[in-house]
Structure 1
Amino acid sequence: MNKLKKNEQFQNIYKTGIKAFGYYSLVYIKTNKENNHNQVGFVVSKKTGNAVCRNRLKRLFREYYRLNEKKIKKSYDIVFIAKRTAGVKVKTLKYYQMEKDLNLIFKKLNMFV
């Protein structure tokens, strides 16, 4: 998994990418020039919750991507963004709920192989 790290990369995806949203998250995608590699970024703002909350949400996103990496189409930049509703429910939020939400988003975007 290649990670997006620079602010200008994120800003470029926000401006020119396609977005889709679910109950807990928002996902931006954009095609990239690298063959057979996805670049992934995870964003959880301070408005979402404290550090424990933000880290848990990032772990859930990373785990989802790790388990579904082979199903997702290649040569894309993908940015996962947590919504406030995820932060509010982080103590009771289970992985399967996040997975269900993200599966709906990726089906909307037609990103599964």
Structure 2
Amino acid sequence: MRKAYRIKKNEEFQAVFKKGKSFANRQFVLYFYPKPNQTHFRIGLSVGKRIGNAVVRNQVKRYLRQAFLELEDCIKQDFDYVVIARNPAKDLSFFEVKKSLTHIFRKSKLFSKVKC
């Protein structure tokens, strides 16, 4: 995932939290905020210290980035997304992370009309 497609600044995270909407399941919380002028979605990842040590947190972030990369064609492009990992996320494999993320996107109706 390119760095241009990531949310890094605190102000951008806060804008998504305050102005956006959210959906959640047991493993993740997804915040999203529409950006009509944007050609590609941007993601911000938040994995707190409660999840585990640095190795575990980085693994969860890698899994999330890869899941977004694989679901890229299905996800609506003109949004900013922030994903917050909850404690059960540390025990998931990559395929379970992808399945959980897909569940949240279906629940929030953020998949594009393309069959995914």
Partner Cα distance (1:34, 1:96) in 2: 32
Shift of 1:34: 3.0
Per the alignment, residue 69 of structure 1 pairs with: 72
Per the alignment, residue 106 of structure 1 pairs with: 105
Matches within 5 A, 1:1-113: 1=2, 2-87=5-90, 89=91, 93-113=92-112
Partner Cα distance (1:35, 1:29) in 2: 13
**The residue matched to 1:100 in structure 2 has which SS?**
helix
Number of matched pairs:
109
User: What code does the residue aligned with 1:105 have?
Assistant: I
**The residue matched to 1:111 in structure 2 has which SS?**
coil
Structure 1 gap segments, 5+ residues each: none
User: What code does the residue aligned with 1:26 have?
Assistant: V
CA shift digits 1:52-108 (9 cap, x unpaired): 110000001000000011110111000111101223x2xxx2111111111110011
Partner Cα distance (1:76, 1:83) in 2: 22
Q: Over aligned residue pairs, what C-alpha RMSD do you find?
A: 1.2
User: What code does the residue aligned with 1:24 have?
Assistant: Q
Structure 2 gap segments, 5+ residues each: none
Partner Cα distance (1:35, 1:11) in 2: 18
**The residue matched to 1:26 in structure 2 has which SS?**
strand
Q: TM-score, normalised by structure 2?
A: 0.88
Shift of 1:35: 2.9
Partner Cα distance (1:83, 1:59) in 2: 15
**The residue matched to 1:98 in structure 2 has which SS?**
helix
